[in-house]
Amino acid sequence: MMRISGRSRSSHPPPASAGTDASGGVILYLNDITVSFDGFRALNALSLELQVGELRCIIGPNGAGKTTMMDVITGKTRPDSGSAWFGRSVDLLGLTEPEIAQAGIGRKFQKPTVFEQHTVFENLELAMAGDKSVWKALFARISAARLEQIEQVLERIGLSGHRFDRAGALSHGQKQWLEIGMLLMQDPQLLLVDEPVAGMTPQEIERTAELLTSLAGKHSVVVVEHDMEFVRSIARTVTVLHEGSVLAQGGIDDVQGNPKVIEVYLGV
């Protein structure tokens, strides 16, 4: 089963913020993952590989297993069988959600999830990478370098003018960006982004596309999306999921011309 070499270390949790050794060029490696809910196979022997710095779009009809796949990667759902590795050194199946987050995987939810009672600034501060234990947090202070980092992220997500606004008062699109900004503060090696443009205006979609493309390279990004227009504007490689496993994979045009994909999407 193990295709990546030099991976003898078993499921010891990594130290906080350790990141993973991605020198093999593969940042995420899912092999033969199966998840069943009451007999329903949400994921069916799913295998997937993601290269370092890649921006990958995952598409597929409802119930194809896109969100379940994210749940497996982030530790929310445990698969019945299969293996999931983050780089060479981190076995995802042995870790809890906070441990996976600390190891360097950030996740954006489908519904924008920010801390509504906190200000934009505080949201970013809370997302900041670092020791997240209770004791440290009691005496934590922000350093000048961290302030600078927050400023940069505010700039990048276009919310500099809103730093003291309550996150709950932001528009839908701004919340989505704030959540992406929180992922940036976390400085993960791998970003999982679930439906980032749902409910956005065309202008907002355009800005989001720019934002996500600018992230690829430094981070590896997985985007789950329904909006084909949007997928076309950002993706180099597209993976189509269907009934819990990979149906097709390749460039957007190849995939859209694939008869199996057309059948699944249009029911021909």
Partner 1 sequence: MSESVVGNSAVVAGNGGGLRKAIRADRGGTVLLGVLLAIALLVPALNLLVPADSVLHMSGYAVTLLGKYMTYAMLAMAVDLVWGYCGILSLGHGAFFALGGYAIGMYLMREIGSRGVYGNPLLPDFMVFLNWTELPWFWHGFNSFPFALSMVFLVPGALALVFGFLAFRSRVSGVYLSIITQALTYALMLAFFRNDMGFGGNNGFTDFKDVLGFNLQSPGTRMVLFLLTAAALGGSYSLCRYIIDSRAGRVIQAVRDAESRARFLGYRVESYKLWMFVLSALLAGLAGALYVTQIGIINPSEFSPTNSIEIVIWVAIGGRGTLYGAVVGAFLVNYAKTYFTAALPSMWLYALGALFVIVTLFLPNGVVGLLGARFGKYRLATAK
Only segment of 42-50, 114-122, 232-240, 242-250 that touches partner 1 (CB under 8 A): 114-122
Minimum CB distance to partner 1, residue 191 (Å): 11
Total residues in contact with partner 1, by rule CB under 8 A: 45
Q: Is 222 exposed, middle or buried (0-12, 13-18, 19+ CB in 10 A)?
A: buried
With respect to partner 1, which residue has the nearer C-beta, 167 or 216?
167
Minimum CB distance to partner 1, residue 180 (Å): 13
Minimum CB distance to partner 1, residue 181 (Å): 12
Contacts 24+ apart (CB under 8 A), 198-207: 198/110, 198/226, 198/227, 199/172, 199/173, 200/172, 200/173, 200/176, 201/173, 204/173, 204/176, 205/229, 205/230, 206/233, 207/158, 207/177
Minimum CB distance to partner 1, residue 163 (Å): 7
Of residues 118 through 177, those in contact with partner 1 by CB under 8 A are: 118-119, 121-122, 125-127, 129-134, 136-147, 163-164, 166
Q: Is 5 exposed, middle or buried (0-12, 13-18, 19+ CB in 10 A)?
A: exposed
For residue 140, which phi and psi values (nearest 5 degrees)?
A: -70, 140
Rule CB under 8 A: choose which of 67, 186, 189, 245 binds partner 1. Answer: 186
Coil vs helix vs strand at 100: helix
Asked if 106 touches partner 1 (CB under 8 A), the answer is: yes
126 CA to centre of own chain: 18
With respect to partner 1, which residue has the nearer C-beta, 222 or 264?
222
With respect to partner 1, which residue has the nearer C-beta, 127 or 211?
127
User: What x/- string results for residues 62 through 91 when contact with partner 1 is judged by CB under 8 A?
Assistant: ------------x-x---------------
User: What x/- string results for residues 4 through 43 when contact with partner 1 is judged by CB under 8 A?
Assistant: ------------x---------------------------
Compute CA distances 112 → 81, 109, 169, 175, 253, whole Å: 31, 6, 13, 6, 30
Q: 87-120 burial, b for 16+ CB within 10 Å, e for fewer?
A: bbbbbbeebeeebbbbbbbbbbeeebebbeeebb
Alpha-carbon span 90 to 18, nearest angstrom: 10
Minimum CB distance to partner 1, residue 242 (Å): 27
Minimum CB distance to partner 1, residue 148 (Å): 11
* Residues making contact with partner 1 (CB under 8 A): 16, 74, 76, 97-98, 101-102, 106-107, 109, 113-119, 121-122, 125-127, 129-134, 136-147, 163-164, 166, 182, 186
